[in-house]
Chain A
Amino acid sequence: MAEVFWPAQGSAALLGGEHNRVDGLAKSTGVAKYAYDIAPDNMLIAQALSCPHAHANIRAIDLTAAQNVAGVVAVEPLKAEGDEVRWEGDLVAVVAAESEAACAEGLAAIKVDYEVLDHYVDDADLDAATGADATRPAGSNTQKADADAEEDAEFERLFGEAAVTFEADYGIHVITHMCLETHGSTCEWNDNKLTSHLSTQNVSGTAGQIAGPLELTAQDVTVHCDYVGGGFGSKFAADAWGVTCAQLAKNTGRPVKYMLTRSQELKNAGNRPSGFIHVKVGAKDDGFVNVWDSSHWGTNGPSGAPVSQNFIPYVFDPPNRRRVATGIRTNSSPARAWRAPNHPQCCAITQTAYDDVARHLGLDSYDVFLRNLSTVGERAAVYEEQMKLGAQLMDWKAKWHPHGKGPKDGSVVSGLGMAIHTWGGGPHNSRATCKIYPDGGVEVFLGSQDLGTGTRTVIGLVVAETLGLELNQVKVNIGSSEYPASGPSGGSTTVGGVSESTRRAATAALNELFAKVAVQLEANADDLEATGGKIQVKGNQNRNIAWKDACNQIGMGPIEAQGEYQGGVTYPRDYEGKRLTDNGVAGVQMAEVAVDTETGIVKMRKFVAVQDIGLIINRKTARSQIYGAAIMGIAYALFEERIMDKASGAFVNAELSDYKLPRMGDVGEIVVELYEPESEYNRGVIGLGEPPVISPGAAISNAVCNALGIRVPVLPMTPQRVLEAISAANP
């Protein structure tokens, strides 16, 4: 019997190696087709009209002139008369036309009569929001070491006892998902069946969302997505535009492509909530934070929810803490899950305060983080080991200087900062089918998707490892709702889900094959193993049969075996202390920056990321994912933000030319250390997508603060904010 549990550390043939992506060539040469690239014959182009007002009622929509524009085939309202538009850029009507130009003419001919209403967009200013009646309570929660003490008196006493007490403000602005491939789809009808080439993180979950509104059943809808140009949590749903595209294709009898424009993408298709906090901190003279009292606020759009109070302060849980959350309703599009929802913002607005404890006490930030690890729970020892590794890679002790006390090279100062994070990353539900053909061919099928993280390669590696084959001997089929259902790719759940279902399917298929060849090898099927392209008797390499010859004995049809992981179902999860998958990781990141005090420009020098993820399947793509996360973190720490014009309520920088992102020249040296001792390896596979993107904001802010001796309180730390912080500190 082939064993379903992973080989012991160090004994795998492929797992944990450095493997190129199986689709790397297709992607880099343009052979890979994204939803945006699909162009069936006779296709119509659909585009939407955006509302120019931040808040308005629609009195009337007149589509007549648009319908009469040459080349326009269909015009549909997306809002009805009397509807309220709650953010600038919301989509009001859609035109399908023979060309982009005709579509543009059609859109320009749509007449909408708006009753413009008051708007509110300022999420940073709590007083202004209160004045505008845009706030709502979002919960509060207190923990006291002395549960019986009267709350206010106890907090006053604790602050009185603290060696250092300070009050400070921190914040982080809304950013957008900025998917390089905007949201949308290309839809085709054939014989009353719909194929939606949807740019999605969720091929198995979106067919039903399209079928329902079209009064079809899900089996008449196939969602197809071989490649996705970015999702980051914003592409779980078919969305109104996905349904509209299918409807337009049905109504016109022609294929239709409907992708959002860049500005529509930024204004409608995903953003991350902001977070602002006022906090009072009391710490002991060794940097231990004993008391924390905070009020935080922020916006996720019209419904007005801030980041969750459950992560305040982040990872650290001081013995005494009080936290109050306030939501701000703004005329901006609803937030969507952004890589590690809540975590990056909560890390950025609270672990900066922990660093300020070090600043106020003149301590090394490393020592303050270390001292407070006693409040992080069960993974404290892992954090400590990861901090040691990070410090070695950063050469922390040699480079460290107290905040603002480092050498100055003209106007340039440098500094170090760190932050720590946590995430789950347990598996999502997943089903896989593995087929072994009589000619030796192997295929695996999952209704999963590759967001660019390397999922396709990971699945192939798991099959190849299980069957003792090379990666290129396995054909991986994903990206279709016709395959066995697998979960949406979010929350770092994919790698666990697909590796567990795939491993189980491939093992089951292999055991069927073992049964077919056992007689020829004069052995029990239980005593066989698949390795190096052969099936052999365990412990006797001479009694073997080559893979192809073994498969010849399958007979008529292929072996077809299923494997699955379903949450809530009891599996034999543990085997001699090993598991296929697990949940829960730590992670430590450190940043070194230089700051030009005359221009406020921050330059990344070095960034170190230490990360545990259980068992590593593909070391190369794992490292690559952390590089990407570090760059995304540098982006929100130093460059990107949604800029809302308070006066007009417009999102004014909703184009790539104005929405600042880092380039390769801005990211400095990035060092990735994958932390995989046997104790972590034996936990099995754990997701990696979210955790490494959490710490960069706090780590980089702390490095800037260490360089300047002044806190730049709000991210991103643009030249403007750095200069304003310097000028506020030197009035």
Chain B
Amino acid sequence: MRPFEYAAPRTEAEAVGLLAAKDRQTEILAGGTDLIGLMKQMIVTPSRVVNIKEIPSMQGVSQTSEGILIGAATRLEDIARATLLAPYPALADAIAGIDSQQWQAQSTLGGELLQRPRCWYFRSGAGLLAQNGQKVAAGDSRFHAIFANSGPAKFVSATRLAPALICLGAKARILKPGKEDPESDDPETQTCLVSELYRTPRDESQRENVLSQGQLVTHILIPHGKELANATYEVRHGSGPEAPLVTAAAALRIEAGIVTDAKVVLSQVAPQPWNSREAAESIIGRPVDLVTAEEAGRMAVAAASPLKDNRYKVQLAAVAVKRAILKAAGQPTGGI
């Protein structure tokens, strides 16, 4: 690990000022479960680390006129326990899958959403795109993307909570540095959909999210009016907090036994969370049962483009979608 400056601001504005420093390479420290490892490996080498976990306004879950507001520095175990979030079991499902008391107690919502990809070429220092995608294409791609992988980015998005939040139409509140003097001007607020936080980088200058230096996700809002039956289903090789093989979340409006609205989002399958319109459309207008859920799973992977080592993930993605839909509808998922 390289030496670095450490700052622990108490306000969001202070944090943005510290993060926006022109003469510093800055990183946001939340729970640290990902960043510390990356720094020890010197994959990221910030000259300043800004701890946002001690900013009171970024903590906790509250009811607002627009919906449920979750501070980005709220710990995962507090989200899993929050009674206000009881209508959104897809979140608790995903957190339960991060199967480690230490991780649940230490990790934050913002950190979970913006953790870096687990690609072993990236993690060994070859860069996020690992020589413009060549290392993955020639190398071992058993855990890499099965969608949107024709460009240089072949890693998979690591977040496990974004599928649930995207299904629920969640928005991210982003604080940006002021235009004139980023370090002292009042920061500006911007809101975007959680799905819009992510992008598929085209070159090494880009990250897998749209935030530029100094920008801070302070809150996630789950808007009212999206009271859909929802669930997350993950295919995990074993217990423990490690990356699952596939994450799928489904949110369904079921009226008189028929699905009238649906959203299906996956993670661990593409460089960013993967919204499967095909799966959602296939279930709309039908009842949820084994046949229709399985059909949705098949539709979810119809356009999959596996790499040489990860064809099995296509099957896993189809099963995860099927089981997420069944789970959201309160039906047995099967499996072990």
Task: Give the B-binding residues of A (Cβ under 8 A).
Answer: 100-101, 104-105, 108, 410-412, 594-596, 598-601, 603, 638-639, 643, 645-648, 650, 652-653, 655, 657-658, 660, 662-666, 718-720, 723-724
Contact = CB atoms under 8 A, between A and B. Distances in A.
B83 interface: no
Interface centre among A599, A645, A647 (most CB of B within 10 A): A599
Nearest to A659: B242
Given A412-B335, A664-B239, 11 more contacts: A108-B42, A412-B336, A599-B335, A601-B336, A643-B142, A647-B135, A648-B138, A657-B37, A658-B118, A665-B99, A666-B240
Interface string B6-39: 0000000000000000000000000000000100
A596 B239 contact: no
Nearest to A605: B336
B135 A104 contact: no
Contacts of B190: none
Contacts of B140: 643, 645-647, 652
Contacts of B237: 601, 639, 660, 718-719
A382 to B, nearest CB: 35
Minimum-distance CB pairs A-B, first 7: A665-B239, A410-B334, A647-B138, A652-B120, A647-B139, A663-B240, A663-B239
A123 B27 CA distance: 41
B84 interface: no
A662 B1 contact: no
19 contacts: A101-B1, A105-B3, A108-B42, A410-B332, A411-B334, A594-B336, A596-B335, A601-B237, A639-B237, A647-B139, A652-B120, A652-B140, A660-B238, A663-B99, A663-B238, A665-B239, A666-B238, A723-B312, A723-B316
Contact of A410 (B99, B240, B242, B335): B335
Interface in B308-336: 312, 315-316, 319, 332, 334-336
Contact of B242 (A594, A650, A657, A724): A657
A603 B42 CA distance: 37
A723 to B, nearest CB: 4
Nearest to B320: A599
B121 interface: yes
Contact of A645 (B37, B139, B316): B139
A272 B238 CA distance: 23
Could you tell me the dominant secondary structure of chain B's interface residues?
Answer: loop
Given A411-B334, A663-B240, A599 B316 contact: yes
A376 to B, nearest CB: 34
A101 B118 contact: no
Contacts of A639: 237-238
Contact of A598 (B99, B120, B135, B335): B335
Interface in B78-100: 99
Query: Looking at B2, B99, B237, B245, which has the most chain A CB atoms within 10 Å of its CB?
Result: B237
B139 A719 contact: no
A332 B124 CA distance: 17
B139 A652 contact: yes
Give the most central of A101, A645, A666: most B CB within 10 Å: A645
Contacts of A600: 312, 316
A658 B120 contact: yes
A643 B139 CA distance: 11
A594 B335 CA distance: 10
